Structure 1
Amino acid sequence: MRAISTAAHGSPGADRVIEGPTPKHAQLREILRRTVERELPPGAAIPSERELAERYQVSRLTVRSAIGKLVEEGLLSRVRGKGTFTAARRMELQLYLMSFTDDMRRRGMAPTTEVLRTSTEVPPAPAASALGIGADTPAHRLMRLRRADGLPLAVERGWYHAGRLPGFFDLDLTQSLYSQLDQAYGVRPDHAWQTVWAESADRETARLLGLRTGSPLLVFRRVSSSQGEPVEDMTSWYRGDHYQVTMQLDRNTPDSGHHSHYGGTR
């Protein structure tokens, strides 16, 4: 990252941090903001805290404060163990039935999946109701971390109908689940209710996604069925700095459509 020339902006302190009424971290933040917005492409690495501190003759605490604010604004993104990067343009979350694997491949990205936890146990009441099973009936529980081009993008925690999916954990759960359900059971999810809300990352989710605790997330709860029979109740936590949702709205009366009863739960 090169310093921005004073000639380009016409003010004598535009590319350096000076003594004055404006706090140094605020001055540096604006210098970095201009550089990111005007000179660096999405996904570009910025210099280390030490390099920036030496370049602008400020403390590393000042650098950390300036960068932290830009991370909060979504202009920069920290990747644990790798550094700080200009934020990639947000991907549009698709509001139709498609697996994460297929979606990332369609975008030209390489998807990978890490299985974090599996079990067969009695699910909480909302999941049991969504799957149409009795209160004491076990279901398959699956937790996965989804990455694209090596970057962690989503944590999935799902429940699956054990009666309709025997031998579920014999599948390769690191691959597209929807493709394998079709191949192994002839189960092809063809309908779903999806609920969307915003949430702050708890400690575990933040750690998995390489974020700070409290970072903004987009959360999707999807209850999927195949030929009218529910098979999946999955909640996905997506990084808020990498995703957005766009919807088409029509002018209808509030009671003109069917309302889902699958609300979000923690």
Structure 2
Amino acid sequence: MGTTQLESVPEPKYWHLKTVLSEALDRDFAVGEILPNERELAARFGVARATLRQALEQLELEGRLQRRRGVGTTVAPPRVGVAVGSTGHGWPGEAADGWEAVDAVEAVPAGAVLALLGTEAGRPVHTVRRTRVTQGQAVAAELLYVPAASVPGLSAIDAPAGPARARAVLRELQRLALDGQDRSVELGSARADDAKELDRLPGAPVLVVTTRYFTAEGTAAVSVATYRADTCRLTFGDTGMEITETRAAS
């Protein structure tokens, strides 16, 4: 990696530095290789560490770099394509949907979720936690909120806790006739629990995908799925929006 003159560049310094770093990643570094520390990089490029951090953060957001607990900043792996959305939308938990059930508890969701569900404030709902795994690594974590009215046949005796309880909630949910769903996507920051699940640092960029599932009676469930922003891209087609994972976690 060589030095560069940034003073006369009209665009922001960090943006130009990001371009230079991106070219250097392609030329000088292998996948998984750890970058030099910030002090060394800042000295090499003649920039302030704050400018360097901005460039590194942007490269992380674009999926070129990964910050890993106890390791440091590494070069992201090559892209792989794994579809996580399709034109044939169905209930969560259907065969081959790519998610693994982890647990299910009864809890009161946040106000924003309660508003989407249309349920009474303070009323607990079944909260199913699932993970999305690609090549043995978690790339997404989901919380699925299901009101008791949506799964009236659920028996606590049959599945008291853990993955079995989660699968029971999903199984009962699939007994309903799905009328449709809507989905929204926004960029967010990883919360502590999601960061741990996804092997990210708290505050790392993530994509938050919120999905509402409808029956003739109204909203039957709400999913809030958090995807690693460095593994996913969004594509849009004639049939609606799809989400495609593009990098394997390392």
Identity %: 19
**Among candidates 15, 23, 40, match of residue 53 of structure 1:** 40
Partner residue of 1:196? Answer: 184
Q: Which runs of 5+ in 1 are unaligned?
A: 1-14, 105-110, 251-266
Please give the alpha-carbon distance, in whole angstroms, between the structure 2 residues aligned to 1:50 and 1:66.
14
- Post-superposition shift, 1:76? 1.9
Matched position secondary structure for 1:49: coil
Which of the two has greater strand per residue? 2
Normalised to the residue count of structure 2, the TM-score between the two structures is 0.60
Q: Using the TM superposition, give the Cα deviation of residue 94 of structure 1 relative to its aligned residue in structure 2, in angstroms.
A: 0.9
Residue 119 of structure 1 corresponds to which residue in structure 2? 106
Structure 2 Cα separation of the partners of residues 135 and 27 of structure 1: 49
Deviation for aligned residue 1:159: 1.8
Question: Taking CA–CA contacts closer than 8 Å with sequence separation of 6 or more, which of the two structures ends up with the larger relative contact order?
Answer: 2
Q: 2: distance between equivalents of 1:17 and 1:47?
A: 19
| Structure 1 letter corresponding to 2:225 | S
Consecutive unaligned residues of structure 2, counting only runs of 5 or more, are: 240-250
User: Is contact 2:206-2:228 (8 Å) kept?
Assistant: yes
Q: Name the larger-Rg structure.
A: 1
Counterpart Cα distance in 2 of 1:193 and 1:37: 41
The RMSD of aligned alpha carbons is 4.7
Aligned-partner SS, 2:238:
coil
Deviation per residue, 1:17-53 (Å, 9 max, x gap): 1567369977764443124346767xx2132324993
What TM-score results when the alignment is normalised by the length of structure 1? 0.57
Q: What is the CA deviation profile of residues 35-72 of structure 1, one whole-angstrom value per residue up to 9, with x for unaligned ones?
A: 4346767xx21323249938x84689476554333113
- Match of 1:102? 96
Q: Which amino acid aligns with 1:77?
A: Q
How many residue pairs get aligned? The number is: 220
Q: Is the 8 A contact 1:156 1:234 kept in 2?
A: yes
**Distance between the aligned counterparts of 1:38 and 1:122, measured in 2?**
48
Secondary structure of the residue that 1:245 maps to in structure 2?
Answer: strand
